[in-house]
């Protein structure tokens, strides 16, 4: 079996480059210009936070009707650009009501805010024409464990999910796990936790997950194994591909930039298990390097997609029968070399002819000018070598000189 791949990303992946230690370094890009860039670099899908789609809705002062009207206007724009909305996610980690979490907040008023905002997110998704609601439970955790009861917190997350499922029978929920950041510890750190949350609702068939490469790595887990676990449960409904350099903050690096083999294994497990056959997207969540200038600030997205497709070529070129034989013989050293050899050899073989073509023209130019090499013939002229004969003349003259000296004496 083989996967069917189409690509998406969120408008937040095009940004000005500010970080916790420095200000913005690029000009802001208008939302319209962001939308216009998608097709140019090979993307057909767009991911949204609720306030990406309807700016200003976060304080809940806009009515349900007003929010739906704004979302429908956006839908017309997306249709004009040929873009499909993949999902909508409530961005609740910025609002003052969610300083200590949304669904797990110790304040009943703050929990009510989180539920109401989740409903408005569903309204936006419905207007845009997507059934997918992503829950990245960013602040559903603690800085110190004594601040919340983990049993109660887990039950509150399940209750929130149930409320959303009851609110709209057409939606489905994709839980995105992450072990830490911004909280010190979160209640849904791995994809196993995310899938288990659906079992606490009355409709687990409408509960699945989204796996992000970096989030799995921050939990010190293999992203491809996490994907495999979710695929086995028929719960992998989206991915956020990127890369990560060790157990630190969430870096969202270009896909495959740190560990191409790890990236290959993610591509391979998706492809071999028919990912995308029922409409799943290959989502990217990658940040441009702060050093990039304005005119080259989309390369992280363009190259992440290209790297995925190149790794797909490599994976599909492997001889599965040969791999099965090595596995059967338990010759994993040979299998290890076989995988690496294909990754390393093919790009070099393609690049070699280009490198050889340039020097070929230079030697031809040198051979075309033999006259310069003929110059030594002038140096070899007998006249110069005959010079010693002239020097020999004084020696002959020296003898008479000696005689004159003798006469003086």
Residues annotated catalytic, as ranges: 49, 52
What does the alpha-carbon distance between residue 208 and residue 175 come to, in Å, rounded to a whole number? Answer: 6
Structure tokens at 207: 């509960």
First to last CA, the chain: 118
Torsion of CA 357, 360, 365, 367, to 10 degrees: -170
E strand intervals along 207-350: 207-212, 236-241, 281-284
Q: Is there a cis peptide before residue 182, judged by omega within 30 degrees of 0?
A: yes
DSSP secondary-structure letter at 185? E
What does the alpha-carbon distance between residue 284 and residue 242 come to, in Å, rounded to a whole number? Answer: 6
What does the alpha-carbon distance between residue 21 and residue 30 come to, in Å, rounded to a whole number? Answer: 24
CA-only gyration radius of the chain, Å: 35
SS3 (DSSP) at 10 = coil
DSSP secondary-structure letter at 275? T
Instruction: Give the bridge partners for 241, in sequence order.
Output: 284
CB count in 10 Å sphere of residue 336:
11
SS3 (DSSP) at 91 = coil
Taking a C-beta distance cutoff of 8 angstroms, is the pair 134, 88 a contact?
A: yes
SS3 (DSSP) at 181 = coil
């Amino acid at each position: 079996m083989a996967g069917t791949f189409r690509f998406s990303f969120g408008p937040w992946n095009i940004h000005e480059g500010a970080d916790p230690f420095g200000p913005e370094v690029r000009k802001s890009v208008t939302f319209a210009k962001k939308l216009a860039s998608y097709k140019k670099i090979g993307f057909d899908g767009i991911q949204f936070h609720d306030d990406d789609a309807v700016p200003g809705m976060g304080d809940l002062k806009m009515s349900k009707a007003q929010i739906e009207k704004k979302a429908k206007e956006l839908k017309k724009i997306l249709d004009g650009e040929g873009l499909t909305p993949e999902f909508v996610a409530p961005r609740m980690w910025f609002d003052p009501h969610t300083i200590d979490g949304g669904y797990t907040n110790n304040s009943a008023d703050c929990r009510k805010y989180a539920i109401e905002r989740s409903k408005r997110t569903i309204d936006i998704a419905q207007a845009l024409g997507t059934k997918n609601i992503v829950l990245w439970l960013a602040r559903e955790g603690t800085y110190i464990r004594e601040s919340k009861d983990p049993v109660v917190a887990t039950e509150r997350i399940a209750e929130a999910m149930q409320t959303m499922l009851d609110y709209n029978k057409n939606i489905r929920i994709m839980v995105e796990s992450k072990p830490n950041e911004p909280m010190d510890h979160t209640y849904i750190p791995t994809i196993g936790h995310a899938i288990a949350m659906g079992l606490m609702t009355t409709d687990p068939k409408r509960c699945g997950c989204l796996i992000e490469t970096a989030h799995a790595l921050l939990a010190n887990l293999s992203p491809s194994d996490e994907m495999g676990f979710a695929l086995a449960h028929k719960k992998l409904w989206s991915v956020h591909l990127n890369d990560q350099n060790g157990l630190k903050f969430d870096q969202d690096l270009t896909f495959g930039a740190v560990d191409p083999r790890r990236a290959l294994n993610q591509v391979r497990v998706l492809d071999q298990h028919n990912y995308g056959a029922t409409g799943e997207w290959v989502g990217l969540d990658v940040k441009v390097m702060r050093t990039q200038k304005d005119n080259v600030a989309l390369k992280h997205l363009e190259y992440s997609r290209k790297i995925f497709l190149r790794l797909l070529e490599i994976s599909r070129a492997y001889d599965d029968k040969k791999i099965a034989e090595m596995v059967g013989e338990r010759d994993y050293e040979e299998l290890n070399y076989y995988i690496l050899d294909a990754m390393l050899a093919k790009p070099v073989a393609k690049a070699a002819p280009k490198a050889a073509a340039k020097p070929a023209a230079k030697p031809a130019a040198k051979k075309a000018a033999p006259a310069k090499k003929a110059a030594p013939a002038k140096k070899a002229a007998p006249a110069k070598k005959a010079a010693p004969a002239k020097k020999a003349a004084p020696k002959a003259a020296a003898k008479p000189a000696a005689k004159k000296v003798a006469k003086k004496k």
